[in-house]
Amino acid sequence: MKRILSSRQVRNTVERLAARIRADYGDKRPVLVGVLKGAFVFLADLIREVNMPLEVDFLTVSSYGPGQASSGNVQFVHDITTDIGGRHVLLVEDIVDSGLTLDKLRRRLIRRSPASLRVCALLARRSLLAGDPDAVDYLGRSVPDGFVVGYGIDCGEDYRYLPDIWVLEDG
């Protein structure tokens, strides 16, 4: 395994994102929607850095099976309970890879007529951003190809507990 971000670098990234979110949302009381399971650590740190009135909800999707290969089939497992009609919604993702999950979630939530819908992701794949630089509104860091784990992000349900962020090496 190769470490790509130390916990200190992660913290700096979260602080930078939180400052932008605070500046943009001011007193709008946004609803931050964490995409489970991967985003739970990031969201927990993010809301405390944002440190202004907001609401939190979660939805659960599953696109990966036990290993590293995406099934390409995004399964919607659990929905939010908040009525987001007229609300400012910020989707919070751990890592955006192909963008497929994000696309599906966006389309699903936009039907409920939120006042606004934006995306905050701790990480996004460089290859995706090359083709779609605006895929994520609030982006922490871009990452090269390679399976990422740690800071809530798993591989087959392992490694979520790691404070740093790592890339699994082949083999």
**Is residue 120 a contact point for Mg ion (CB under 5 A)?**
no
Picked from Mg ion, ligand IMP, none, the partner binding residue 34 (CB below 5 to 8 A depending on kind) is none
Residue located via tokens 């009609």: 85
Select the span of 12-20, 51-59, 92-100, 110-118 touching ligand IMP (CB under 6 A).
Answer: 92-100
Picked from Mg ion, ligand IMP, none, the partner binding residue 148 (CB below 5 to 8 A depending on kind) is ligand IMP
Pairing of strands 2-5, 165-167: antiparallel
Smallest distance from Mg ion to CB 19, Å:
23
User: CB of 101 within 8 A of CB of 63?
Assistant: yes
Smallest distance from ligand IMP to CB 111, Å:
19
**Is residue 100 a contact point for ligand IMP (CB under 6 A)?**
yes
Contacts of 15 by beta carbon, 8 Å cutoff, 6+ apart: 49
User: CB of 99 within 8 A of CB of 152?
Assistant: no
User: CB of 78 within 8 A of CB of 60?
Assistant: yes
Residues 49-88 close enough to bind ligand IMP by CB under 6 A: 63-64, 70
- Which amino acid is it at 12? N
Q: State yes or no: is 97 an active-site residue.
A: yes
Please state, in angstroms and rounded to a whole number, the distance separating the CA atoms of residues 61 and 72.
12
Which of the residues are catalytic? 97
Footprint of ligand IMP (CB under 6 A):
35, 38, 63-64, 70, 93-102, 147-148, 153
